[in-house]
């Protein structure tokens, strides 16, 4: 799964972790500068808590679904270059990359499906915690002291 793609296949981006609006990471505001919010979406995948951020891998079971958001990139080539730097998967980043970008089919919660760029975790999640509910924002809320479980 290479990051640098010759052709821009779509101007949509699916985010599921630190870039989500309800996670509160500063990089989300950079994303908002680069893209317009399209709406909530889901993707067939398995979500893992890697510590400071999550990662997704291909689904193994029919119920493996990740909750996220879709954004329309204003200038896709420039936006993806910036996001690839954030995800550490540019040609100047050390190999092997932890994440790789590829197009996947996402289900928009307002209805319909769309092709969107997704950053997939390329490592081995053997020592990471599976978030079977597929929602990173929920996992953050649950890990905070005093959170309702």
User: Domain ranges in the chain?
Assistant: 12-142
Express each pLDDT in 69-94 by its tens digit.
999 999 999 999 999 999 999 889 88
**pLDDT range class, residue 2, cuts 50, 70, 90:** very low
E-only strand ranges, 16-98: 35-44, 46-49, 54-57, 65-73
What per-residue confidence (pLDDT) applies to 144? 72
Contacts of 72 (CB under 8 A, 6+ apart): 11, 12, 13, 35, 36, 38
CB 63 within 8 A of CB 45: no
Out of 3.10.490.10, 2.40.30.10, 3.40.50.2300, 3.30.70.100, the CATH code matching 12-142 is: 3.10.490.10
Query: What is the distance of C-alpha 24 from the center of its chain?
Result: 15
User: What Rg do the C-alpha atoms of the chain give, in angstroms?
Assistant: 15
């Amino acid at each position: 799964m290479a990051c640098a793609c010759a052709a821009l296949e779509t101007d949509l981006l699916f985010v599921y972790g630190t870039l989500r609006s309800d996670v509160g990471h500063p990089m989300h505001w950079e994303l908002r500068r680069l893209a317009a919010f399209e709406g909530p979406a889901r993707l067939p995948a398995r979500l893992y808590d890697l510590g400071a951020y999550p990662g997704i891998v291909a689904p193994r079971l029919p119920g493996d679904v990740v909750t996220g958001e879709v954004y329309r990139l204003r200038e896709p080539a420039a936006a993806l270059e910036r996001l690839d730097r954030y995800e550490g998967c540019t040609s100047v980043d050390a190999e092997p990359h932890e994440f790789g970008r590829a197009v996947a089919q996402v289900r928009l919660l307002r209805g319909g499906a769309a092709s969107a760029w997704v950053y997939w975790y390329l490592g081995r999640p053997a020592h990471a915690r599976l978030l079977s509910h597929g929602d990173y924002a929920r996992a953050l809320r649950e890990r905070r002291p005093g959170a309702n479980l």
